[in-house]
A and B are shown apart, each in its own frame.
Chain A
Amino acid sequence: MSVESLEKEHNSIDISNSHQVVTSNDVLLCVKDLHLWYELKRWGFIHSGYVKAVDGVNFDLHYGESIGIVGESGCGKTTLMRTILGLEKPIKGSIEFCGENVSGLNVSDMKFYRSEVGYIQQDPYGALAPFMDLQQILEEPMIIHGVKNQEKRLQRIHDVLTEIKMFPVDDFLRKYPHMLSGGQQQRAVIGRAMVLEPRLLVADEPVSMLDASVQVEILRLLQDLQASHNLAVIYITHDLSTVRYFSKRIFVMYAGKIVEKAQVDELLSNPLHPYTKALLEATPDPDYENALTYKEVPPGEPPSLIDPPSGCRFHPRCSQMIEGLCDVKDPPEIEAEPDHLTACWLFD
């Protein structure tokens, strides 16, 4: 499976060259001050506010790096992911891939970027077209990106299926999604994401709908793929316990902003932001002691994104809130410790 075996259509830049110059210091994806606001319209045309789903996100992703984005529902991680995938247009800010801007482009300009990003979804059955067999499903991305030779496509499919360990390959080609188990379906989704030899994988809760024993299998597979192809991975989840196995860095999101960024071990052993601490405290390990104690949970609910609280978004629920500061000024990203950033006034 060499890179040259697949001819991809490029519009403006020749990416295949940069494969040889890979170092993990090179930035693959650069997200700058990204804002994505959904416009609310009453009666279809009267403007009545914005849902500020992503409100100022910055980060760099290097080649071969894996990061985990953790947060509860409504924190904006799904919207962030969709913007990175190019399914949404940001209202402010930019996304750069290998130095080229990829946000807010039209469909044809985006095409080269789409062949570089693989998307793995949460629901493995829903992610596969029920009326297509596995061969057709895996061929689709290649057909769209202009791989005209059917033999080449079949060869690539064989390689991919072998790599995701679906043996015997020929049997699986003819199967339809409903004939596969949950784990096999998710493997197919992963295979489809890999078929165009992407450099970045975006995985949205890839194992949350699978059984416990299968979850590990899939996570292992993703780990292996990442290592052998030097893929950058963005892993999005609300389950902190899985993110450790998969990501080197973790970003914690709350109400549209990233509130903490750190290496995995550092974050888990030394969480700084009060919200991160609450999340860790609330995530159980299988331990009998859990049944004997009440967990401390910050009161209230995540805020509305239409009218978020002033200042730090977490301040209404924060036990360590500083009056006059946290409720007035939005905290910037502060490097509290080397390579450990947090958006909290406590660390100013």
Chain B
Amino acid sequence: MSDNNKLLRVEDLRLYFRVKNGVVQAVDEVDFSLNYNEAIVIVGESGCGKTSFARSVLRLLPRNVDTYSGRIYLDNVDTMTLNDEEFRQDVRWVQMSMVPQAAMNALNPVIKIGEQVAEPLIVHQGMHKDEAWVKALEMIEQVGVPGDFLYRYPFELSGGMRQRIALAMALVTTPLFVFLDEPTSALDVLTQANIFNVLKRLKKELKISFILITHDVATSSEIADKVAVMYAGQIVELGHARTFFSEPLHPYSDMLMNSVPRLRVKKEPTFIKGQPPSLLGPPEGCRFAERCPKRFNKCSEEPPVVNAKGHQVKCWLYV
């Protein structure tokens, strides 16, 4: 894996929020990289910081930011050095975009579909309206929505269709990669399968990269080339999907996999006792130590990220 031909390289990313009671360390010293034409899935439970991670890469920050630091190399250019206006014009929705959570509810109910899909082109690329509509038509057909839906309103579409439109909106400016935040969590199984078919096809045809964020471990396997596990604001494991699903290394990943009920295998799932630590003052040392069955005395110190069996693991067991 050569380091300098990566699409996205994140180093030491930190995002802390200020709240009434203190500082929430939502994203804490995260290192991450994404290749061209690759799909990485970030799995984690609610509150582990995965959405905050996406927001911090896209610089969609709330008002109460306490710390925002690190390096984000997109196509070898550190986007952190750009100011907000440059970032808005050149990076966001131009080189990377996002399909946010419950995107299908985020469509403007009083504007036609066509206008909404064409809007990023008009705003970010200064395209003329007619040209933008042509491109919008191409895009929604790519995601599997019939062309005449351009003239319809969101309420006329089903949930699955709306999610595809949201996807089209994120892809219409042909970015280098797209964040997908829980893209199918509110959808039925068949619709979900359809959406993933679309994503797989787009990845192949447009050579696009995806970062999929979800808490659903089972669906994450639909598209993952690599899997990253986030816990309490940190990435605790990152590895190839091929080996991850069969042999997760970090104890949390292992327990997470064991808690997933399976359809085809008669395995009784187990649950993880306790709760993730609060990000408002996380504990010293390994943040999972409190709930970890394999904990030992070294775990009271912050574990380093090491390479083990082709995965990056943040755990003393593999040092």
**Complex interface bits, B134-174 against A, C-beta within 8 A gives 1, otherwise 0:** 00000000000000000000000011100000000000000
**CB <8 Å contact, A291 and B200:** yes
**Complex interface bits, A276-291 against B, C-beta within 8 A gives 1, otherwise 0:** 0011111111111011
**Complex interface bits, B256-272 against A, C-beta within 8 A gives 1, otherwise 0:** 11011111110011111
Question: Is B89's CB within 8 Å of the partner chain A?
Answer: no
Residues of A within 8 A of B200 (CB): 291, 294
A269 and chain B: residue at smallest CB distance: B264
**CB <8 Å contact, A217 and B218:** no
Complex-state Cα separation, A284 to B197, whole angstroms: 13
Question: Is B225's CB within 8 Å of the partner chain A?
Answer: yes
Chain A binder among B19-27, B103-111, B240-248, B297-305? B240-248
**CB <8 Å contact, B223 and A214:** no
Looking at the assembled complex, report how far the CB atom of B187 sits from the nearest CB atom of chain A, in whole angstroms.
9
Chain B binder among A55-63, A146-154, A239-247? A239-247
Complex-state Cα separation, A86 to B191, whole angstroms: 31
B193 in complex: contacting residue of A219, A220, A241, A282, CB < 8 Å: A282
Residues of B within 8 A of A211 (CB): 45-46, 215
Q: A245 and B261 in contact (CB under 8 A), knowing A286-B218, A287-B221, A288-B242?
A: yes
Question: Is A212's CB within 8 Å of the partner chain B?
Answer: yes
Among residues 188 to 219 in chain B, which have CB atoms less than 8 Å away from a CB atom of chain A? 188-194, 196-197, 200-201, 215-219
A212 in complex: contacting residue of B191, B217, B221, B242, CB < 8 Å: B217
Complex-state Cα separation, A212 to B159, whole angstroms: 23
**CB <8 Å contact, A279 and B217:** no
**CB <8 Å contact, A297 and B197:** yes
**Complex interface bits, A164-192 against B, C-beta within 8 A gives 1, otherwise 0:** 00000000000000000100000000000
Complex-state Cα separation, A288 to B256, whole angstroms: 16
Question: Is A238's CB within 8 Å of the partner chain B?
Answer: yes
B260 in complex: contacting residue of A73, A212, A295, A297, CB < 8 Å: A212
**CB <8 Å contact, A244 and B261:** yes
Residues of B within 8 A of A301 (CB): 158, 160
Question: Is B255's CB within 8 Å of the partner chain A?
Answer: yes
Interface residues on B, range: 35 or more
Residues of A within 8 A of B201 (CB): 294
B225 in complex: contacting residue of A73, A282, A287, A291, CB < 8 Å: A291
A286 in complex: contacting residue of B46, B197, B221, B225, CB < 8 Å: B221
**CB <8 Å contact, B188 and A213:** no
> Which of A73, A288, A298 has the most chain B CB atoms closer than 10 A to its own CB?
A288
Looking at the assembled complex, report how far the CB atom of B196 sits from the nearest CB atom of chain A, in whole angstroms.
7
Q: A214 and B190 in contact (CB under 8 A), knowing A286-B257, A287-B221?
A: no
**CB <8 Å contact, B271 and A216:** yes
Complex-state Cα separation, A219 to B246, whole angstroms: 24
Residues of A within 8 A of B242 (CB): 288
Residues of B within 8 A of A214 (CB): 271
**CB <8 Å contact, B245 and A287:** yes
Return 8 A-B CB contacts under 8 Å, by A number.
A211-B215, A213-B271, A244-B263, A245-B269, A268-B263, A284-B218, A285-B262, A295-B197
Enumerate chain B interface residues (CB-CB to A < 8 A).
39, 45-46, 158-160, 188-194, 196-197, 200-201, 215-225, 241-242, 244-246, 255-257, 259-265, 268-272, 275
Known: A282-B192, A287-B221. 4 other contacts (CB 8 A): A240-B189, A241-B218, A286-B221, A294-B200
